[in-house]
């Protein structure tokens, strides 16, 4: 069953005036990025194989999550702050 969309409604952006929450989210996002970098650095003393590539890929995903949090808070897309 398919439904037709007749009207498009604008996406509501959450814009908060709480600077403490913004600063806290930026600090936590920076810590997440640093943990991703440390995660990648633990992979390099090992020999290179598919397990190491998966480990590096997981570290890059952690870094991406931290960067996504920073972008969301800068663009006003977080409803928690």
Residue 52 pLDDT exceeds 70: yes
Q: How far apart are CA 46 and CA 76, in angstroms?
A: 41
Residue 43 lies inside a defined structural domain of this protein = yes
CA dihedral of 72, 10, 12, 62, whole degrees rounded to 10 = -20
Number of domains in the chain: 1
Residue 51 pLDDT exceeds 90: no
Q: Which domain holds residue 39?
A: 19-74
Q: How far apart are CA 78 and CA 16, in angstroms?
A: 9
Residue 1 pLDDT exceeds 60: no
Residue 50 lies inside a defined structural domain of this protein = yes
Q: Which two tokens stand for residue 13?
A: 């952006």
pTM of the model: 0.71
Residue 11 lies inside a defined structural domain of this protein = no
pLDDT digit string, tens, across residues 6-47: 665 555 555 566 788 888 989 999 999 999 999 999 888 778
- 37 to each of 9, 30, 51, 60, how far by Cα in Å? 40, 11, 17, 8
Residue 38 lies inside a defined structural domain of this protein = yes
Residue 23 lies inside a defined structural domain of this protein = yes
């Amino acid at each position: 069953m398919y439904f037709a969309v007749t009207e498009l409604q604008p996406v509501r952006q959450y814009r908060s005036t709480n600077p403490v929450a913004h600063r806290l989210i930026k600090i936590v996002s920076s810590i997440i990025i640093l943990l991703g970098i440390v995660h990648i650095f633990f992979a390099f003393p090992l020999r290179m194989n598919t397990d190491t590539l998966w480990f590096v890929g997981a570290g890059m995903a952690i870094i991406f999550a931290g960067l996504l949090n920073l972008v969301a808070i800068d663009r006003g897309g977080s409803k928690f702050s």
